[in-house]
Amino acid sequence: MSALRESLGFLTSRLRQVGIFVALILIVLLFQVLTGGILLEPQNVTNLVVQNSYILILAIGMVMVIIAGHIDLSVGSVAGFIGAVAGVMIVHWGWPWWAAIPACLLVGALVGAWQGYWIAYVGIPAFIVTLAGMLIFRGLTLITLKNQQITPFPAELRALGGGFLPDITGGTSVLEWLTVILGVGATVALLVQAVKERRLRQKFDLENEPMAWFATKTTFIALLMLIVTFLLASYRGTPIVLIVLAVLVIVYTALMNNSVFGRHTYAIGGNLHAAELSGIKTKAVTFRLFVNMGVLAALAGLVFTARLNSAQPAGGTGFELDSIAAAFIGGAAVQGGIGTVAGAMIGGLIMGVLNNGMSILGLGTDYQQLIKGLVLLLAVAFDIFNKNRSGRGGESIMGKWFKLKTAPPAEAENTTPPASQPASDGAGARQPVAAKHL
């Protein structure tokens, strides 16, 4: 019973991180019931991954920008512009697809460098620079395409947006076994990594999750991964874009958690002036963040264009709103300094499930926009509520109850005043205590 209370108390203190995951599960279950089981059919799960892949790619870069205390309103226009550039290169100029892809990523990096220069070194707020970029690159998209779509693209490029890994059984098996092998391997790797990290934290006597919660969470995530593996293997296997997305998540999670660049990004968002005083090259970090955002926007544009097999004048419209919403719903703080790549992925999946589920139910665009706007507002309000509560030193009633129930018995009262309190002199006056410097 004490282990259960300890776990529940831990969850109460981690509402920001746990809440979004629980919200995703509840939304999936809700639409599974409302759609009569259509939501989790193998074909629809595959469509859900493919249709939201470019938003998830953008969300990775967007959450990094938001963590640093900035915003990027131009990513949708940049994605559309890169799609137009790819169309001109491949269809009009006859470039091979394998040369056009790195060239488009390079163009995206140049776009990010252009915007990053104005933000980092000139000092113009990111909101203004990227708002201007949204208009500039939307205009360049129309100029590049001459207000007409470009199609078709080669099959190799189309595979990036809608292709699948080859079926090693030749289509003779009920399940696609390459997907099964990859899914089981990923699940085992996740379990090994989770246990390894827990033991490492124990070794260095760092704060750790209660064992009951760790076992429950890890088992649940493993089962969820196996279920998704089975659903994908029951249809056509693993989408190629899912492999791309998985590699990006692994690389950027490691970058943000284990690299100097990631630590500097969090430091800049937490307190810019303190980061500058500590010697962090804040301008260089900001510049690199926007170069990275440009590259990811270019990749998202390529995936979107490949999926549609067409470079369109309206390509990328609204992508910036969905990616920003994914980052904030996934737990990124409005003020910066807080957020994770995994959280942004969960936020993006919440947006994707909402879009997919409401489309299956036949809700119009008007109601879809209304519901998504309310979800975003509630997510940000929840974030601000948590920040204000922690700022006041507050704690929820449930959290206090669990802490009270799990606290060890009070020791005998010590007559010596705590070190954190000033001692009294003979007249009852407080003596000053020297400040401690961290």
Which residues fall within 8 angstroms of residue 436, CB to CB, at 6 or more apart?
A: none
Rounded CA-CA distance 430/438 in Å is 24
Rounded CA-CA distance 329/50 in Å is 20
| Per-residue confidence (pLDDT) for residue 382, from 0 to 100 | 78
Dump the DSSP string for 364-428.
-HHHHHHHHHHHHHHHHHHHHHHHHHHHTT---HHHHHHHHHHSPPPPPPPSSPPTTSPPB-TTS
Which residues fall within 8 angstroms of residue 271, CB to CB, at 6 or more apart?
A: 337
3-class secondary structure, 115: helix
| Per-residue confidence (pLDDT) for residue 123, from 0 to 100 | 94
Dump the DSSP string for 192-214.
HHHHHHHHHHHHTT-----HHHH
Kindly state the DSSP code that residue 280 receives in the 8-state scheme. -
| Per-residue confidence (pLDDT) for residue 402, from 0 to 100 | 44
3-class secondary structure, 255: helix
How far is residue 121 from each of residues 50, 129, 131, 358, measured CA to CA in Å? 38, 12, 18, 44
pLDDT truncated to tens, each residue of the chain (438 aa)? 566 666 666 666 566 667 788 888 889 999 999 999 999 999 999 999 999 999 999 999 999 999 999 999 999 999 999 999 999 999 999 999 999 999 999 999 999 999 999 999 999 999 999 999 999 999 999 999 998 999 999 999 999 998 999 888 776 677 888 999 999 999 999 999 999 988 988 888 887 778 887 888 889 889 999 999 999 999 989 999 999 999 999 999 999 999 999 999 999 999 999 999 999 999 999 999 999 999 999 999 999 999 999 999 999 999 999 999 999 998 898 889 999 999 999 999 999 999 999 999 998 888 888 998 898 888 888 777 776 766 655 444 444 444 444 445 444 444 444 444 444 444 444 444 444 333
| Per-residue confidence (pLDDT) for residue 238, from 0 to 100 | 93
CA atoms within 13 A on the CB side of 227: 9
Rounded CA-CA distance 93/95 in Å is 6
Q: Are 311 and 45 in contact (CB under 8 A)?
A: no
pTM for the whole thing? 0.86
3-class secondary structure, 314: coil
| Per-residue confidence (pLDDT) for residue 407, from 0 to 100 | 47
* Surface-to-core class of residue 310, CB atoms within 10 Å of its CB (0-12 exposed, 13-18 middle, 19+ buried): middle
Q: Are 122 and 128 in contact (CB under 8 A)?
A: no
Task: Provide Rg for the chain, Cα atoms.
Answer: 25
Rounded CA-CA distance 427/250 in Å is 63
Which residues fall within 8 angstroms of residue 266, CB to CB, at 6 or more apart?
A: 67, 256, 337
| Per-residue confidence (pLDDT) for residue 176, from 0 to 100 | 87
Rounded CA-CA distance 346/342 in Å is 6
3-class secondary structure, 156: helix
Rounded CA-CA distance 261/62 in Å is 16
| Per-residue confidence (pLDDT) for residue 141, from 0 to 100 | 96
Structure tokens at 66: 């938001």
Kindly state the DSSP code that residue 164 receives in the 8-state scheme. B
| Per-residue confidence (pLDDT) for residue 215, from 0 to 100 | 87
Torsion over CA: 28, 330, 321, 148 (sign) = negative
